[in-house]
Amino acid sequence: MEYVKGRPFFCENVSRIKNYPYLSKDKYCDILIIGGGIDGSIANYYLSDKYDVVLVDKGRLGFGCTSCATALLEYQLDDFAKDLLPYMSEKEICMAYKMGLEAVDKIQYLINHYGNTCDFNLRPTFLFSNSIFTKSAIEEEYKFRIKNNFICELFDESNNPFPFSIKSGIFARNGGCEFNPYLFEKLMIENAKNQENIFENTKIDKIENAFLGFVATTNFGEKIYCKKIIISTGFNWEILNTNSLCERFITYSVVTNSLKDFMWFENALVHDAVSPYHYMRLLPGNKIIFGGEDSVYKGKDINENLATKKYVKLTNDLFKLFSNRKDIKIDYSFCGCFGTTPNNLGLIGESKYDDNILLFISCGANGIINAMKGIEVIEDILEHKDNKLIKIFSPKRDC
């Protein structure tokens, strides 16, 4: 089955910094992490500090959905707070927003420590609508944030600083950041403590219970004996023999040519709140990445004809947004799978299959932010400590 299609912008024109071997003999470890996308690499980075961890990926590290994540890293969630109330209390929603802000700080800390090798920038976020029907929902969301001390401003037609039309929008100056997701994955992988325990081109075909834990068998028959397993296989759940962890969609993106003398207000991360929604940000070299137009993922290969139609629709919508620019051309188009849950948060914690099989699967348009804080949930579970985020991330909740 396919999870990514097209020419993902982020891993093109990047020379590979380091290759990892495939596993060629049996291994013993405390924790086996299956899947080395951005989730698995974050888990591996933090856990290999304290445990004997083996990380395996069936292909090249970072070439799954990570390679096409637009990487708008925002503190807000996909839905308005009012729409999340059936699934989380007001306190929990605020906790999730706060977690987003803390995740941005955590990424910034890593960049300060290791250097900016992944085109990282702090960015404001801008959630807007150009529809009169969504204007009141945006205003309600703004009031919710102000009431709960999240600093933001409300823009409308009268004070709109953006070069496109809006009816209303929430601007949060310290709301987010951006990076190249593939290069951030490399930063996590290459700075992890367990360099000799990272394996590419090593697929896990089977997990079985064994004395004091599990034995995972690779496609070439090697065995990895471990006490715990972390599943970071993204939205590919074949290893768990299920198709129903959460809803899956395909989201589509186009990337433009470099645009001369082009920017918008503070180069904010822009998200619109209509359906189907769109999102965009500026890439190095003043290219726009513009995405959205999600369709349901049917668990089969990605439909090429549908993808082509979606790229045309995105291109036309982008041209309309910046109708005064006649020099916009599309250089890249690609799409990939992502999962969503009713409360917009990832599936992170003990699985319903076995408490020693943990899921670490980031969901929603904000998955990467989830993962940066979600790893603290995994760390606390492993240390038998309480964590107030366990409940809202639990894979055992109703998804």
Ligand X SMILES: Cc1cc2nc3c(=O)[nH]c(=O)nc-3n(C[C@H](O)[C@H](O)[C@H](O)COP(=O)(O)OP(=O)(O)OC[C@H]3O[C@@H](n4cnc5c(N)ncnc54)[C@H](O)[C@@H]3O)c2cc1C
Residues near ligand X (CB under 6 A)? 3, 34-40, 56-59, 63-66, 68-73, 203-204, 232-234, 236, 239, 251, 253, 291, 335-338, 361-362, 365-369
Burial class (CB in 10 A: 0-12, 13-18, 19+), 95: middle
Q: How far is the CB of 158 from ligand X (least distance, A)?
A: 30
Phi, psi of 268 (to 5 degrees): -60, 160
Which two three-digit tokens encode residue 110?
């890593």
Pick between residue 307 and residue 321 the one whose CB is nearest to ligand X: 307
Burial class (CB in 10 A: 0-12, 13-18, 19+), 203: middle
> What does the alpha-carbon distance between residue 186 and residue 46 come to, in Å, rounded to a whole number?
14
Pick between residue 262 and residue 277 the one whose CB is nearest to ligand X: 277
> What does the alpha-carbon distance between residue 100 and residue 96 come to, in Å, rounded to a whole number?
6
Q: How far is the CB of 204 from ligand X (least distance, A)?
A: 4
Pick between residue 204 and residue 307 the one whose CB is nearest to ligand X: 204
Both ends of the chain: CA-CA distance in Å? 23
> What does the alpha-carbon distance between residue 317 and residue 134 come to, in Å, rounded to a whole number?
19
Pick between residue 80 and residue 237 the one whose CB is nearest to ligand X: 237
Q: How far is the CB of 234 from ligand X (least distance, A)?
A: 3
Pick between residue 349 and residue 367 the one whose CB is nearest to ligand X: 367
Q: How far is the CB of 349 from ligand X (least distance, A)?
A: 15
> What does the alpha-carbon distance between residue 268 and residue 285 come to, in Å, rounded to a whole number?
16
Pick between residue 129 and residue 253 the one whose CB is nearest to ligand X: 253
Q: How far is the CB of 58 from ligand X (least distance, A)?
A: 4
Say if residues 253 and 334 touch (Cβ distance below 8 Å). Answer: yes
Helix (H/G/I), strand (E/B), else coil: 170: strand
Q: How far is the CB of 250 from ligand X (least distance, A)?
A: 7
